[in-house]
Structure 1
């Protein structure tokens, strides 16, 4: 990412990698369905932006079956793990996705999931990434629109996370922003929909517990929230990982953009 872009909020250490594995397992089915319904079949080149450990890269390879996948991330440690666990026709590249040109472009498919929530000026990035598509290509985006829970611990965690991201110029529910933006000239919005995924409270709490441990020492968080409150939140999230009932519902905004032919 560029110097003006904040570091990845959830970090890229071993705990973050463990969390990404859980995220990959949790959202694999809904992402596979989106790709099945919205991606071009057997394209020449697909780019996976912010690939992390390669979970979405492998989904693209399996579901879309492109001739070639280039998976892009700024974390050397994540890319090393991704390479070690991927046998599909995927090439991993260390690159800042806010910098053009993107490796291998123009591409027939560009995909990102849970990436724009960590990047400033998401509307501008949509415009710029679409410029990296081949004629007839498609940019597919899957981002949070809402996360709903009736549990007070979950909701308090989400409040703090939303404030943290806001302090960095990014947005937890970036799907809402993308849904309301005016499409730039020479870009067609070909898909705009939401899909809901209920996740067991215990699994959501495990992801959130690991997140909190990763960013609780952030300067904004340390200044805005007491260590006592953060300790209590950590304890309560840990307790929820053993809960056998309840769900946390993610509403995901699914968007598709193509270069205009007019």
Structure 2
């Protein structure tokens, strides 16, 4: 049985910043929790939009110079590259939206539609990508509302049509790019303490992502990038972590774990993460 993946939204339609301050606080809580169902294991992997909706309000600095160039999308020749970079562009779109760079936003739509078509996932989106672009009034919240129904069914549909391998690579590309953008938006270790903590919290996200990838190890590229994610997790070993009491809440048969280990960023971990993420991202985006 395939693992059930929880995404607040992971593909293009899932890449929009939204919500009030209260909603964003709930997102932050999800990152620190793991939910276990009796029949399925649910892996909490926040979408780039959820990440950046929080980060744009932190002590980060907007840095659009480090986004991936959408013009390079035409240079990717194989399906693995296209799936990985579809994920990369997903994170870039979320970043632009969260930092209100809406003038650059639509330049990504056509490229992502083309990549989606090339890797055989366009049938999931249908004509809805184009319709979202046409209906968009420039307001990120309205775009989120328009795409709400779409993204809630997208990831599960990809698994149903045996596109789990493509989804896996999209997730890898999106998360690596999210980490790249987070690090690139930092003022430097210790100078953006809230962002430092957000980066430390990505340890759990990386572990959850790796658990999802396990289901698709028959794919050589998924296996290769699983090893890359393991290397990132190893870099997190230099966090300053303390163990606390783990609290378990049972809600309608689902157990939610909170508390437990709490970690803070260190200079060594920050430097090692920066180096490792740059290395993996360079490999992903190089045609």
Instruction: Please give the TM-score of this superposition, normalised by the length of structure 1.
Output: 0.34
